[in-house]
Structure 1
């Protein structure tokens, strides 16, 4: 489906695009690519990610009459392109946000030091906030306390009961 020639709406691809469950890193490019490239290619959208499908101009010039006067008009291809671009950006952003929330909820202290664990959870929280999620300090503290593990249960219970 070519965005420049068809009457494209974001609803055409919404059900078919997968959630991206993995953050793109240097070491996992092949896995990440396998998750995203096939659905994008099957809908003719890979050019948005690769940069091959450049944004058309917002306006086009058309001749109106025999005098040769040209008039600046909105380019329908631009608006179709912009819709798809925003849809893809929102899909990736939404998947990233869900992935970060999941990491925040499931990250545990395990064998690392408390300071390393707190730093890791705080960085996840900062990434969520940077992606537009409203995360309060209180919520972040609860995530941290939840992941400390059974060794810290008494301390966590004491902190929670005194803060209530």
Structure 2
């Protein structure tokens, strides 16, 4: 894979696409294509090797990153054709390698059919100790307000 970082002072570049990134240990992590993450090391100004995600996804699936106390990455995975989500957390994350553990088994999404995080809006965070996940997304009807969905590993989701 060949990735070029253009000189920002040059008029010869443009942004082809955008993707949500998260910061972890001073580096930027970004989902790249459905299969892997890219880590950009700002101190060395280079990209690390592609890091595998713990599942196989397709472009139409939802894959959203979040960080936990700037120490671990979490990834939310929702297949386009199901009402189930998986949340994974890194057990080890370095510029060259990542190991993952499933933090929450599939979360029942039956009460909220149609919840599919929008690329530009959806976000989430995890409280590992309390086994709670909070999902934030734009209202699919008005797109003018955000809605929080809160779930516990053993409880169905409710909307706030």
Fold shared by both chains (TM-score > 0.5): no
Higher relative contact order (CA 8 A, sep 6+): 1
TM-score where L is the length of structure 2: 0.26
TM-score where L is the length of structure 1: 0.25
> Comparing both structures, which one devotes a greater share of its residues to helix?
1
> Comparing both structures, which one devotes a greater share of its residues to strand?
2
